Amino acid sequence: MAAGQFLDLEGGPNSVEFVLEKKFGELGECSAVCGGLLAGAGDDEIQRLRRYGRAVGVLYQVVDDVLEAKMKTEDQEEKKKKGKSYVRVYGVEKAMEIAEGLRAKAKRELDGFEKYGERVVPLYSFVDYAADRGFSVGVQDYNINLIKEQIFSSFPVIQPMVMEDNENCSSRVVESSPANTRQQRQKLEVYSEVLRRLKESDNQEAKEPGFDDELWAHFNRLPTRYALDVNVERAEDVLTHKRLLHLAHDPANRPAFEVRLVQVPPISDGNTADAVYSGSPRNEVAQSIHPPPAFGSSPNLEALALEENKSQVQDGDSAVNAHAQFSWPMHEITFSTDDKPKLLSQLTTLLAEVGLNIQEAHAFSTVDGYSLDVFVVDGWPYEETKQLRNALEKEFFKIEKQSWPNLRSLSPSGEQEKTGIKFEPDHFYDT
Protein backbone atom coordinates (compact mmCIF):
# COMPACT_ATOMS: atom_id res chain seq x y z
CA MET A 1 0.00 0.00 0.00
CA ALA A 2 2.87 2.37 0.79
CA ALA A 3 4.37 1.71 -2.64
CA GLY A 4 1.02 2.38 -4.28
CA GLN A 5 0.58 5.63 -2.38
CA PHE A 6 4.08 6.73 -3.40
CA LEU A 7 3.41 5.96 -7.06
CA ASP A 8 0.09 7.77 -6.81
CA LEU A 9 2.09 10.98 -6.95
CA GLU A 10 3.05 10.04 -10.50
CA GLY A 11 0.51 9.60 -13.31
CA GLY A 12 -0.38 8.39 -16.77
CA PRO A 13 -2.58 5.63 -18.19
CA ASN A 14 0.17 3.06 -17.77
CA SER A 15 0.48 3.51 -14.01
CA VAL A 16 -3.12 3.65 -12.78
CA GLU A 17 -3.56 -0.13 -12.90
CA PHE A 18 -0.36 -0.69 -10.96
CA VAL A 19 -1.25 1.97 -8.38
CA LEU A 20 -4.70 0.53 -7.68
CA GLU A 21 -3.40 -3.02 -7.48
CA LYS A 22 -0.77 -1.95 -4.96
CA LYS A 23 -3.09 0.24 -2.87
CA PHE A 24 -6.25 -1.86 -2.91
CA GLY A 25 -5.72 -5.12 -4.80
CA GLU A 26 -3.00 -6.43 -2.51
CA LEU A 27 -5.05 -5.55 0.56
CA GLY A 28 -7.92 -7.71 -0.71
CA GLU A 29 -5.45 -10.39 -1.76
CA CYS A 30 -3.94 -10.51 1.74
CA SER A 31 -7.37 -10.89 3.37
CA ALA A 32 -8.43 -13.71 1.08
CA VAL A 33 -5.14 -15.62 1.24
CA CYS A 34 -4.92 -15.39 5.04
CA GLY A 35 -8.33 -17.01 5.32
CA GLY A 36 -7.25 -19.76 2.95
CA LEU A 37 -4.00 -20.42 4.81
CA LEU A 38 -5.78 -20.64 8.15
CA ALA A 39 -8.22 -23.15 6.65
CA GLY A 40 -5.46 -25.30 5.15
CA ALA A 41 -6.17 -24.56 1.49
CA GLY A 42 -4.17 -26.29 -1.22
CA ASP A 43 -1.73 -24.51 -3.52
CA ASP A 44 -4.20 -24.15 -6.39
CA GLU A 45 -6.88 -22.86 -4.03
CA ILE A 46 -4.47 -20.30 -2.57
CA GLN A 47 -3.66 -19.01 -6.05
CA ARG A 48 -7.35 -18.70 -6.87
CA LEU A 49 -7.96 -16.81 -3.63
CA ARG A 50 -5.01 -14.56 -4.42
CA ARG A 51 -6.48 -13.58 -7.79
CA TYR A 52 -9.99 -13.32 -6.32
CA GLY A 53 -8.90 -10.95 -3.53
CA ARG A 54 -6.87 -8.76 -5.88
CA ALA A 55 -9.80 -8.42 -8.30
CA VAL A 56 -12.29 -7.59 -5.54
CA GLY A 57 -9.96 -5.04 -3.95
CA VAL A 58 -9.51 -3.12 -7.20
CA LEU A 59 -13.21 -3.54 -8.06
CA TYR A 60 -14.25 -1.93 -4.78
CA GLN A 61 -12.11 1.14 -5.45
CA VAL A 62 -13.14 1.48 -9.11
CA VAL A 63 -16.80 1.53 -8.06
CA ASP A 64 -15.96 4.12 -5.39
CA ASP A 65 -14.41 6.30 -8.09
CA VAL A 66 -17.46 5.91 -10.34
CA LEU A 67 -19.80 6.88 -7.51
CA GLU A 68 -17.70 9.92 -6.68
CA ALA A 69 -17.69 10.98 -10.32
CA LYS A 70 -21.48 10.90 -10.39
CA MET A 71 -21.72 13.29 -7.46
CA LYS A 72 -21.57 16.89 -8.60
CA THR A 73 -20.48 18.76 -5.46
CA GLU A 74 -17.32 20.85 -5.57
CA ASP A 75 -15.80 18.97 -2.64
CA GLN A 76 -15.92 15.73 -4.55
CA GLU A 77 -14.51 17.36 -7.68
CA GLU A 78 -11.53 18.52 -5.62
CA LYS A 79 -11.13 15.08 -4.10
CA LYS A 80 -11.04 13.43 -7.52
CA LYS A 81 -8.17 15.64 -8.62
CA LYS A 82 -5.98 14.50 -5.74
CA GLY A 83 -5.60 10.84 -6.75
CA LYS A 84 -5.24 8.59 -9.74
CA SER A 85 -8.27 6.58 -10.81
CA TYR A 86 -9.70 4.76 -13.80
CA VAL A 87 -12.40 7.43 -13.99
CA ARG A 88 -9.92 10.25 -14.28
CA VAL A 89 -7.81 8.42 -16.87
CA TYR A 90 -10.48 6.65 -18.92
CA GLY A 91 -13.81 8.26 -18.02
CA VAL A 92 -16.91 6.93 -16.26
CA GLU A 93 -18.19 4.61 -19.00
CA LYS A 94 -14.86 2.86 -19.49
CA ALA A 95 -14.40 2.58 -15.72
CA MET A 96 -17.78 0.87 -15.42
CA GLU A 97 -16.75 -1.61 -18.12
CA ILE A 98 -13.57 -2.33 -16.20
CA ALA A 99 -15.62 -2.87 -13.03
CA GLU A 100 -17.79 -5.45 -14.78
CA GLY A 101 -14.68 -7.19 -16.04
CA LEU A 102 -13.26 -7.35 -12.52
CA ARG A 103 -16.56 -8.72 -11.22
CA ALA A 104 -16.50 -11.51 -13.81
CA LYS A 105 -12.83 -12.24 -13.11
CA ALA A 106 -13.42 -12.61 -9.36
CA LYS A 107 -16.37 -14.96 -9.90
CA ARG A 108 -14.39 -17.10 -12.35
CA GLU A 109 -11.84 -17.75 -9.62
CA LEU A 110 -14.62 -18.90 -7.28
CA ASP A 111 -15.81 -21.45 -9.83
CA GLY A 112 -12.91 -23.60 -8.65
CA PHE A 113 -14.56 -23.94 -5.24
CA GLU A 114 -17.92 -25.34 -6.37
CA LYS A 115 -17.26 -28.63 -4.58
CA TYR A 116 -17.74 -26.75 -1.29
CA GLY A 117 -21.34 -25.96 -2.18
CA GLU A 118 -23.29 -23.16 -0.55
CA ARG A 119 -20.46 -22.27 1.82
CA VAL A 120 -18.89 -20.26 -1.02
CA VAL A 121 -22.02 -18.15 -1.55
CA PRO A 122 -20.89 -15.30 0.77
CA LEU A 123 -17.80 -14.82 -1.40
CA TYR A 124 -19.98 -14.50 -4.51
CA SER A 125 -22.27 -12.14 -2.60
CA PHE A 126 -19.43 -9.86 -1.60
CA VAL A 127 -18.37 -9.49 -5.23
CA ASP A 128 -21.89 -8.36 -6.16
CA TYR A 129 -22.02 -6.02 -3.18
CA ALA A 130 -18.73 -4.41 -4.20
CA ALA A 131 -19.98 -3.90 -7.75
CA ASP A 132 -23.63 -2.93 -7.22
CA ARG A 133 -23.69 -0.71 -4.12
CA GLY A 134 -25.00 2.79 -4.63
CA PHE A 135 -26.59 2.30 -8.06
CA SER A 136 -30.29 2.85 -8.67
CA VAL A 137 -30.49 0.06 -11.23
CA GLY A 138 -29.85 -3.46 -10.01
CA VAL A 139 -29.16 -2.43 -6.44
CA GLN A 140 -28.50 -5.41 -4.19
CA ASP A 141 -29.52 -4.46 -0.65
CA TYR A 142 -27.00 -6.76 0.97
CA ASN A 143 -26.31 -6.05 4.62
CA ILE A 144 -22.56 -5.64 4.81
CA ASN A 145 -22.36 -6.80 8.44
CA LEU A 146 -24.30 -9.94 7.55
CA ILE A 147 -22.01 -10.63 4.59
CA LYS A 148 -18.90 -10.12 6.70
CA GLU A 149 -20.26 -12.52 9.30
CA GLN A 150 -20.99 -15.11 6.63
CA ILE A 151 -17.58 -14.71 5.04
CA PHE A 152 -15.65 -15.15 8.27
CA SER A 153 -17.87 -17.98 9.51
CA SER A 154 -17.62 -19.86 6.22
CA PHE A 155 -13.95 -19.51 5.38
CA PRO A 156 -13.26 -23.03 6.48
CA VAL A 157 -14.90 -23.27 3.07
CA ILE A 158 -11.43 -24.16 1.99
CA GLN A 159 -10.74 -26.58 4.78
CA PRO A 160 -9.46 -29.99 3.69
CA MET A 161 -11.99 -32.78 3.36
CA VAL A 162 -11.44 -34.81 6.53
CA MET A 163 -13.58 -37.92 6.10
CA GLU A 164 -14.95 -40.17 8.79
CA ASP A 165 -14.57 -43.92 8.53
CA ASN A 166 -18.16 -44.33 7.34
CA GLU A 167 -17.94 -41.53 4.77
CA ASN A 168 -16.54 -41.56 1.27
CA CYS A 169 -15.39 -38.71 -0.93
CA SER A 170 -18.21 -39.02 -3.44
CA SER A 171 -20.92 -38.64 -0.79
CA ARG A 172 -19.42 -35.41 0.54
CA VAL A 173 -19.22 -33.91 -2.95
CA VAL A 174 -22.86 -34.74 -3.65
CA GLU A 175 -23.92 -32.92 -0.48
CA SER A 176 -22.13 -29.76 -1.61
CA SER A 177 -23.00 -29.92 -5.28
CA PRO A 178 -23.01 -26.90 -7.62
CA ALA A 179 -26.81 -27.15 -7.59
CA ASN A 180 -26.77 -26.18 -3.91
CA THR A 181 -24.67 -23.14 -4.72
CA ARG A 182 -27.10 -22.05 -7.43
CA GLN A 183 -30.05 -22.53 -5.10
CA GLN A 184 -28.40 -20.42 -2.42
CA ARG A 185 -27.78 -17.67 -4.96
CA GLN A 186 -31.44 -17.78 -5.99
CA LYS A 187 -32.49 -17.54 -2.36
CA LEU A 188 -30.21 -14.54 -1.89
CA GLU A 189 -31.69 -12.80 -4.93
CA VAL A 190 -35.25 -13.21 -3.62
CA TYR A 191 -34.19 -12.03 -0.17
CA SER A 192 -32.65 -8.91 -1.69
CA GLU A 193 -35.78 -8.14 -3.73
CA VAL A 194 -38.09 -8.59 -0.73
CA LEU A 195 -35.82 -6.43 1.43
CA ARG A 196 -35.76 -3.70 -1.22
CA ARG A 197 -39.55 -3.67 -1.56
CA LEU A 198 -40.08 -3.51 2.20
CA LYS A 199 -37.71 -0.59 2.61
CA GLU A 200 -39.12 1.28 -0.37
CA SER A 201 -42.64 0.83 1.04
CA ASP A 202 -41.50 2.55 4.24
CA ASN A 203 -42.35 -0.52 6.30
CA GLN A 204 -41.74 0.23 9.99
CA GLU A 205 -40.42 -3.22 10.84
CA ALA A 206 -37.85 -2.94 8.05
CA LYS A 207 -36.44 0.17 9.76
CA GLU A 208 -35.61 -1.63 12.99
CA PRO A 209 -31.94 -2.37 13.78
CA GLY A 210 -30.88 -5.84 12.73
CA PHE A 211 -33.90 -6.37 10.49
CA ASP A 212 -31.77 -7.24 7.44
CA ASP A 213 -30.11 -10.06 9.34
CA GLU A 214 -33.41 -11.32 10.77
CA LEU A 215 -34.97 -11.44 7.30
CA TRP A 216 -32.01 -13.37 5.89
CA ALA A 217 -32.22 -15.80 8.82
CA HIS A 218 -35.90 -16.32 7.94
CA PHE A 219 -35.08 -17.22 4.33
CA ASN A 220 -32.09 -19.30 5.34
CA ARG A 221 -34.06 -21.53 7.74
CA LEU A 222 -36.57 -22.40 5.00
CA PRO A 223 -35.91 -24.45 1.85
CA THR A 224 -35.02 -22.75 -1.42
CA ARG A 225 -38.45 -23.73 -2.73
CA TYR A 226 -39.99 -21.19 -0.34
CA ALA A 227 -37.96 -18.36 -1.88
CA LEU A 228 -38.74 -19.48 -5.42
CA ASP A 229 -42.48 -19.87 -4.79
CA VAL A 230 -43.24 -16.83 -2.64
CA ASN A 231 -44.80 -13.83 -4.37
CA VAL A 232 -42.12 -11.11 -4.07
CA GLU A 233 -44.64 -8.47 -5.10
CA ARG A 234 -46.35 -9.17 -1.78
CA ALA A 235 -43.24 -8.70 0.37
CA GLU A 236 -45.35 -8.05 3.47
CA ASP A 237 -46.57 -11.66 3.30
CA VAL A 238 -43.02 -12.75 4.10
CA LEU A 239 -43.27 -10.73 7.33
CA THR A 240 -46.46 -12.61 8.22
CA HIS A 241 -44.67 -15.94 7.75
CA LYS A 242 -41.73 -14.68 9.80
CA ARG A 243 -44.05 -13.57 12.60
CA LEU A 244 -45.96 -16.87 12.70
CA LEU A 245 -42.75 -18.89 12.87
CA HIS A 246 -41.60 -16.69 15.73
CA LEU A 247 -44.89 -17.21 17.60
CA ALA A 248 -44.60 -20.97 17.14
CA HIS A 249 -41.49 -21.01 19.32
CA ASP A 250 -43.76 -20.62 22.35
CA PRO A 251 -45.77 -23.82 22.99
CA ALA A 252 -48.65 -21.69 24.29
CA ASN A 253 -49.11 -20.18 20.82
CA ARG A 254 -49.13 -23.42 18.83
CA PRO A 255 -50.43 -23.71 16.31
CA ALA A 256 -50.02 -20.06 15.37
CA PHE A 257 -52.23 -19.26 12.41
CA GLU A 258 -53.49 -16.46 10.20
CA VAL A 259 -56.69 -16.27 8.15
CA ARG A 260 -57.31 -13.82 5.31
CA LEU A 261 -59.30 -13.37 2.14
CA VAL A 262 -57.39 -13.71 -1.12
CA GLN A 263 -58.35 -13.02 -4.70
CA VAL A 264 -57.70 -15.71 -7.28
CA PRO A 265 -57.74 -14.16 -10.77
CA PRO A 266 -59.26 -16.67 -13.21
CA ILE A 267 -57.58 -17.32 -16.52
CA SER A 268 -59.54 -16.23 -19.57
CA ASP A 269 -60.75 -18.80 -22.07
CA GLY A 270 -61.27 -16.17 -24.75
CA ASN A 271 -65.06 -16.14 -24.58
CA THR A 272 -66.94 -12.95 -25.29
CA ALA A 273 -68.40 -12.87 -21.82
CA ASP A 274 -64.95 -12.98 -20.34
CA ALA A 275 -63.79 -10.15 -22.54
CA VAL A 276 -66.79 -8.01 -21.66
CA TYR A 277 -66.43 -8.47 -17.95
CA SER A 278 -62.65 -8.19 -17.92
CA GLY A 279 -62.84 -4.85 -19.65
CA SER A 280 -65.38 -3.30 -17.34
CA PRO A 281 -64.36 -0.71 -14.73
CA ARG A 282 -66.32 -2.65 -12.11
CA ASN A 283 -64.13 -5.70 -12.77
CA GLU A 284 -60.92 -3.72 -12.23
CA VAL A 285 -62.18 -2.67 -8.82
CA ALA A 286 -63.31 -6.19 -7.99
CA GLN A 287 -59.94 -7.67 -8.83
CA SER A 288 -58.18 -5.33 -6.42
CA ILE A 289 -60.45 -5.90 -3.40
CA HIS A 290 -58.30 -8.66 -1.89
CA PRO A 291 -54.60 -9.55 -2.24
CA PRO A 292 -53.46 -12.58 -4.26
CA PRO A 293 -52.29 -15.77 -2.52
CA ALA A 294 -48.84 -15.57 -0.94
CA PHE A 295 -47.39 -18.17 -3.28
CA GLY A 296 -49.23 -17.30 -6.47
CA SER A 297 -51.91 -19.50 -7.92
CA SER A 298 -51.27 -22.58 -9.92
CA PRO A 299 -52.93 -22.96 -13.36
CA ASN A 300 -55.34 -25.49 -11.81
CA LEU A 301 -56.48 -22.98 -9.20
CA GLU A 302 -56.94 -20.26 -11.83
CA ALA A 303 -58.93 -22.64 -14.02
CA LEU A 304 -61.09 -23.50 -11.03
CA ALA A 305 -61.79 -19.82 -10.49
CA LEU A 306 -62.82 -19.51 -14.14
CA GLU A 307 -65.23 -22.45 -13.85
CA GLU A 308 -66.77 -20.95 -10.72
CA ASN A 309 -67.30 -17.64 -12.49
CA LYS A 310 -68.95 -19.38 -15.43
CA SER A 311 -71.39 -21.13 -13.11
CA GLN A 312 -72.19 -17.82 -11.44
CA VAL A 313 -73.07 -16.25 -14.79
CA GLN A 314 -75.17 -19.25 -15.86
CA ASP A 315 -77.24 -18.93 -12.67
CA GLY A 316 -78.48 -15.52 -13.78
CA ASP A 317 -77.59 -12.19 -15.33
CA SER A 318 -78.04 -10.05 -12.25
CA ALA A 319 -75.61 -7.31 -11.29
CA VAL A 320 -74.43 -9.46 -8.38
CA ASN A 321 -73.46 -12.28 -10.74
CA ALA A 322 -71.75 -9.86 -13.05
CA HIS A 323 -69.78 -8.60 -10.10
CA ALA A 324 -68.85 -12.17 -9.19
CA GLN A 325 -67.16 -12.59 -12.55
CA PHE A 326 -63.41 -12.25 -12.08
CA SER A 327 -63.80 -11.56 -8.36
CA TRP A 328 -64.01 -14.98 -6.75
CA PRO A 329 -62.55 -14.75 -3.25
CA MET A 330 -61.07 -17.64 -1.33
CA HIS A 331 -59.52 -17.88 2.10
CA GLU A 332 -55.85 -18.41 2.76
CA ILE A 333 -54.98 -20.08 6.07
CA THR A 334 -51.37 -20.16 7.21
CA PHE A 335 -50.27 -22.40 10.09
CA SER A 336 -46.99 -22.57 11.97
CA THR A 337 -46.11 -25.04 14.69
CA ASP A 338 -43.38 -27.51 15.58
CA ASP A 339 -42.92 -30.08 12.84
CA LYS A 340 -44.24 -33.53 13.76
CA PRO A 341 -45.19 -36.73 11.92
CA LYS A 342 -48.68 -36.73 10.38
CA LEU A 343 -48.92 -32.95 10.78
CA LEU A 344 -50.26 -32.36 7.26
CA SER A 345 -52.81 -35.12 7.72
CA GLN A 346 -54.05 -33.53 10.94
CA LEU A 347 -54.28 -30.07 9.42
CA THR A 348 -56.16 -31.24 6.33
CA THR A 349 -58.58 -33.20 8.52
CA LEU A 350 -59.10 -30.11 10.64
CA LEU A 351 -59.97 -27.99 7.59
CA ALA A 352 -62.37 -30.63 6.30
CA GLU A 353 -64.16 -30.74 9.66
CA VAL A 354 -64.81 -27.01 9.37
CA GLY A 355 -66.31 -27.58 5.91
CA LEU A 356 -63.43 -26.21 3.85
CA ASN A 357 -62.20 -27.54 0.51
CA ILE A 358 -58.44 -27.33 -0.03
CA GLN A 359 -57.68 -26.00 -3.49
CA GLU A 360 -53.95 -25.43 -3.08
CA ALA A 361 -51.38 -26.18 -0.39
CA HIS A 362 -47.75 -25.27 0.25
CA ALA A 363 -45.87 -27.05 3.05
CA PHE A 364 -42.39 -26.11 4.29
CA SER A 365 -40.20 -27.39 7.10
CA THR A 366 -37.48 -25.25 8.69
CA VAL A 367 -34.00 -26.45 9.51
CA ASP A 368 -34.72 -25.99 13.23
CA GLY A 369 -37.81 -28.18 13.40
CA TYR A 370 -40.81 -25.93 12.68
CA SER A 371 -43.42 -25.99 9.94
CA LEU A 372 -45.05 -23.37 7.75
CA ASP A 373 -48.15 -24.66 5.96
CA VAL A 374 -50.27 -22.48 3.69
CA PHE A 375 -53.69 -23.56 2.39
CA VAL A 376 -55.93 -21.81 -0.14
CA VAL A 377 -59.47 -23.00 0.57
CA ASP A 378 -63.06 -22.40 -0.42
CA GLY A 379 -66.35 -23.56 1.06
CA TRP A 380 -66.75 -20.93 3.76
CA PRO A 381 -70.01 -19.09 3.08
CA TYR A 382 -68.87 -15.68 4.35
CA GLU A 383 -66.16 -13.33 3.18
CA GLU A 384 -65.30 -12.15 6.69
CA THR A 385 -62.56 -13.98 8.59
CA LYS A 386 -63.50 -13.64 12.27
CA GLN A 387 -66.12 -16.41 12.25
CA LEU A 388 -63.81 -18.71 10.33
CA ARG A 389 -61.03 -18.09 12.82
CA ASN A 390 -63.40 -18.86 15.70
CA ALA A 391 -64.51 -22.07 13.99
CA LEU A 392 -60.90 -23.18 13.59
CA GLU A 393 -60.16 -22.45 17.24
CA LYS A 394 -63.17 -24.51 18.33
CA GLU A 395 -62.04 -27.40 16.16
CA PHE A 396 -58.56 -27.20 17.69
CA PHE A 397 -60.16 -27.40 21.12
CA LYS A 398 -62.27 -30.43 20.14
CA ILE A 399 -59.20 -32.27 18.90
CA GLU A 400 -57.38 -31.50 22.12
CA LYS A 401 -60.32 -32.62 24.26
CA GLN A 402 -60.80 -35.88 22.34
CA SER A 403 -57.13 -36.77 22.63
CA TRP A 404 -56.75 -35.70 26.26
CA PRO A 405 -60.06 -35.68 28.22
CA ASN A 406 -58.31 -34.41 31.35
CA LEU A 407 -56.87 -31.39 29.53
CA ARG A 408 -56.80 -28.43 31.91
CA SER A 409 -58.67 -26.05 29.65
CA LEU A 410 -61.39 -25.20 32.16
CA SER A 411 -61.18 -22.96 35.17
CA PRO A 412 -62.19 -24.25 38.65
CA SER A 413 -65.64 -22.71 38.14
CA GLY A 414 -66.18 -24.93 35.11
CA GLU A 415 -66.04 -22.06 32.63
CA GLN A 416 -63.55 -21.93 29.82
CA GLU A 417 -60.68 -19.61 30.58
CA LYS A 418 -60.87 -16.36 28.65
CA THR A 419 -57.12 -16.20 28.08
CA GLY A 420 -57.44 -18.40 25.03
CA ILE A 421 -56.65 -22.01 24.25
CA LYS A 422 -53.22 -23.26 25.20
CA PHE A 423 -52.03 -25.91 22.76
CA GLU A 424 -49.28 -28.11 24.13
CA PRO A 425 -47.55 -29.83 21.18
CA ASP A 426 -47.32 -33.20 22.92
CA HIS A 427 -51.10 -33.17 23.32
CA PHE A 428 -52.08 -31.94 19.91
CA TYR A 429 -49.84 -34.21 17.88
CA ASP A 430 -50.16 -37.52 19.72
CA THR A 431 -52.09 -40.00 17.59
CA dist., res. 132 & res. 135, Å (int): 6
CB atoms within 10 A of CB 211: 18
User: Would you state the pLDDT for residue 115?
Assistant: 75
Query: Quick check: do 2-158+176-206 and 236-428 share a fold?
Result: no
Is the CATH number of domain 236-428 3.30.70.260?
Answer: yes
The whole-number average pLDDT for the span 402-412 is: 41
User: Would you state the pLDDT for residue 217?
Assistant: 92
pLDDT of 286 over the 50 cut: no
189 against 129, higher pLDDT: 189
User: Would you state the pLDDT for residue 171?
Assistant: 34
CB atoms within 10 A of CB 189: 15
CA dist., res. 100 & res. 385, Å (int): 51
Given this structure, which CATH class describes domain 2-158+176-206? mainly alpha
Q: Which of 121-130, 189-198, 266-275, 303-312 has the highest mean pLDDT?
A: 189-198
77 against 366, higher pLDDT: 366
CA dist., res. 113 & res. 153, Å (int): 16
CA dist., res. 85 & res. 389, Å (int): 63
The whole-number average pLDDT for the span 215-241 is: 92
User: Would you state the pLDDT for residue 296?
Assistant: 65
CA dist., res. 203 & res. 141, Å (int): 15
pLDDT band at 205 (very low <50, low <70, confident <90, very high): very high
Q: Say how many CA atoms lie within 13 Å of 68 toward its Cβ.
A: 23
User: Would you state the pLDDT for residue 404?
Assistant: 41
User: Would you state the pLDDT for residue 106?
Assistant: 87
pLDDT band at 206 (very low <50, low <70, confident <90, very high): very high
| Domain limits, the chain | 2-158+176-206, 236-428
The whole-number average pLDDT for the span 20-24 is: 75
pLDDT of 362 over the 80 cut: yes
Residue 138 burial (C-beta neighbours within 10 Å; 0-12, 13-18, 19+)? exposed
pLDDT of 430 over the 60 cut: no
pLDDT of 213 over the 70 cut: yes
pLDDT of 259 over the 50 cut: yes
Contacts (Cβ under 8 Å, ≥6 apart) of 343: 337, 371, 373, 429
33 against 64, higher pLDDT: 33
User: Would you state the pLDDT for residue 153?
Assistant: 44
Q: Which of 90-104, 355-369, 396-410 has the highest mean pLDDT?
A: 355-369
CA dist., res. 7 & res. 17, Å (int): 11
What mean pLDDT is reported for the chain? 70
Q: What is the dihedral of CA 53, 58, 63, 68, to 10 degrees?
A: 140
CA dist., res. 53 & res. 59, Å (int): 10
pLDDT of 333 over the 90 cut: yes
User: Would you state the pLDDT for residue 195?
Assistant: 94
229 against 428, higher pLDDT: 229
214 phi/psi in degrees, rounded to 5: -65, -40
pLDDT band at 87 (very low <50, low <70, confident <90, very high): confident
173 against 74, higher pLDDT: 74
The whole-number average pLDDT for the span 237-265 is: 92
User: Would you state the pLDDT for residue 71?
Assistant: 63
pLDDT band at 289 (very low <50, low <70, confident <90, very high): confident
pTM summary value: 0.50
316 against 232, higher pLDDT: 232
